[in-house]
Amino acid sequence: MAKKNEQYVTHIADIRTDFPQWYTDVVRQSEMVDYGPVKGTMVIRPYGYAMWENIQRELDARFKATGHKNAYFPLFIPESYLKKEAEHVEGFAPEVAWVTHGGGEELAERLCVRPTSETIICAMYAKWIQSYRDLPVLLNQWCNVVRWEKTTRPFLRTSEFLWQEGHTVHESDEEAQRETLRMLEVYREFSENVLAIPMVTGRKTDKEKFAGAVATYTIEALMQDGKALQSGTSHNLGQHFAKVFNITFQNREGREEFGYQTSWGVSTRLIGALVMVHGDQRGLVLPPMVAPLQAVVVPVAAHKGGVTEACERVREQLEGAGIRVLLDDRDTLSPGWKFNEWELKGVPLRIEIGPRDIESGQALTMRRDTLTKSPMPLDGIAEAVSARLSEIQRDMLKKAQDYLHNHFCDAADLDAMGAALDAGKGYIRAMWCGDRACEDAVKDRFAASARCMPFDQTPVGDRCVVCGKPADTLVYWARAY
């Protein structure tokens, strides 16, 4: 059995030498996801979907606490809607899937399969909004979207994925800007306190912003291979879409005015971030707040009297305390096999109970994040497990924060930038003159991009990292997924 247990984990690629393959191995072998029959699609299996449900629950509560309500809009969008905003259609055209026939007949107008919902939601807002009394409109939608990606990877980039998209309308640009930044902060706080992932936040360059937006703001995570991952965005849309779709309202002075809009979203990509930020050679390492199972109880020598009963009592106590727990009482597998399986699946806390543990009035616990074992009294175990899970959540965030803090590097010229990128330093802080040609040069030479212009614009020099001209804009650059 020892040899069998060893083989159970050797199918995962080495995280140090082949990070992309390690990622694919982990998400598939942990039964989070599998490939769909159509190229670029994925099947989210129950274990992976449970993570998405936990993400949904936490975010949805935050959206509703800030006054937003959920709605649902159609999957199919008339081509004429998408074409109304030229910049928008240009940005999405390469990724759009089209429906040309329905019921065996050719459609009079092609239908776009939703890549994002600005256009169809704007058409409805134009019908619903007449007066400032109707504002603000604060809606959110949980749905799927389709973007025909050429290169795909489960959770990170697929042709169809799940997400939420908020869409709001306001009386003024100032109010819309406050909403844009408020929702960015909701994302940042959620990522930190639920996912245990610290984020870099800031504004996207015009090249990187959402098609049709006045400004795009982003949360960016850093993976263990030194690459960034755009994890969520919040857009100030200004009046662009309102003018195209005639979203007008009578303002407080009695004059007709166009509405000011925002949109914002995160997707199942967050699950990919969880894997790549926290995982290790044994598989997933999940923060308790989002883990499908927070604890697993494993009987040791279950055939001996009282063991199964003791494990069941512990399970009942933990479940009664609101802890997501499973008693693994499968009698066809050894405890060692079970240990490997639950380590692969990243369960934050394992609780082992055998005859000796019962005699001593304690269980043996193992933290998945540190792989450290320690005894825990059976008396009051629910409270002790709750406290341990909170400790794990805090420690995982601290570890990720330390990693992020240690992966910033300043660069004054392209040679320094290239060396830092090749060394996997993470985010390269460098000044930029604002010229699109310089931004393109970084992309062409290093396959790196401007991840954001951080809110803290404390300079690291006074010259553009590319052309050497005077520069007053600090940019975080990185290679990215």
User: Could you write out the DSSP letters of every residue in 309-359?
Assistant: HHHHHHHHHHHHTT--EEE---TTS-HHHHHHHHHHTT-SEEEEE-HHHHH
Q: What is the pLDDT of residue 87?
A: 67
Please determine, for residue 7, whether its predicted confidence score (pLDDT) is greater than 80: no
pLDDT in tens, 95-145: 899 999 999 999 999 999 999 999 999 999 999 999 999 999 999 999 999
Closest CA to 285 of 390, 375, 391, 393: 393
- What is the phi-psi region of residue 433: left when phi exceeds 0, alpha when psi lies from -120 to 50, beta otherwise? alpha
Does the structural domain 295-388 have CATH classification 3.40.50.10090?
Answer: no
pLDDT band at 82 (very low <50, low <70, confident <90, very high): confident
Confidence category of residue 9, pLDDT binned at 50, 70, 90: low
Residue among 358, 364, 420 at smallest CA distance from 388: 364
C-alpha–C-alpha distance, residues 45 and 358, integer Å? 36
How confident is residue 29, by pLDDT bands cut at 50, 70 and 90?
Answer: very high
Q: What is the mean pLDDT of residues 337-343?
A: 96
- On the question of pLDDT at 301 being above 90, the answer is no
DSSP state of 7: H
User: What is the mean pLDDT of the segment spanning 465-478?
Assistant: 98
pLDDT of residue 84: 84
Query: What's the CA gap between 264 and 213, in Å, rounded?
Result: 11
Q: From 3.40.50.11810, 3.40.50.1010, 3.30.390.50, 3.30.930.10, which CATH number describes the 18-278 domain? A: 3.30.930.10
- CA–CA distance, 51 with 24 (Å, rounded to integer): 17
Distance, in Å, from the CA atom of 308 to the CA atom of 353, rounded to the nearest integer, reads: 9
**Which fold would CATH assign to domain 408-478?**
Translation Initiation Factor IF3 (3.30.110)
pLDDT score recorded for residue 91: 65
**Over 90: is that where the pLDDT of 323 sits?**
yes
pLDDT for 4 beyond 50: no
Q: State mean pLDDT over 195-215.
A: 96
If phi > 0 it is left, if psi is from -120 to 50 it is alpha, else beta; for residue 352 that is beta
Q: Residue 94 has what pLDDT?
A: 80
What pLDDT, on the 0 to 100 scale, is given for residue 480?
Answer: 97
Q: State the CB neighbour count (10 A cutoff) for residue 120.
A: 21
Please give the average per-residue pLDDT across 341-366, as a whole number.
96
Residues 201-217 have a mean pLDDT of 95
The mean pLDDT of 162-174, rounded to a whole number, is 98
Amino acid 475: pLDDT: 98
Burial class (CB in 10 A: 0-12, 13-18, 19+), 217: buried
Spatial strand order in the sheet of 105-113: 76-78, 105-113, 97-102
Q: What is the mean pLDDT of residues 314-330?
A: 97
Residue labelled with tokens 């504002």 = 135
Task: Answer whether residue 253 shows pLDDT above 60.
Answer: yes
- pLDDT of 88 reads 58
| Tally of helices (H runs) and strands (E runs) in the chain | 15, 23
Residue 5's pLDDT band, with cuts at 50, 70 and 90, is very low
User: Which of 90-94, 103-107, 146-150, 160-164 has the lowest average pLDDT?
Assistant: 90-94
**Mean pLDDT, range 54-62, rounded to an integer:** 98
Query: Between residues 148 and 217, which one has the greater pLDDT?
Result: 217
Contact by Cβ (8 Å): 478, 449: yes
Any idea where the domains of the chain sit in the sequence? 18-278, 295-388, 408-478
Measured CA distances, 116 to 77, 82, 364, 460, 471 (Å): 10, 10, 49, 37, 35
Q: Is the N-terminal amide bond of 136 cis, ω within 30° of 0?
A: yes
In 3D space, the residue among 239, 226, 234, 171 whose CA is nearest the CA of residue 204 turns out to be 234
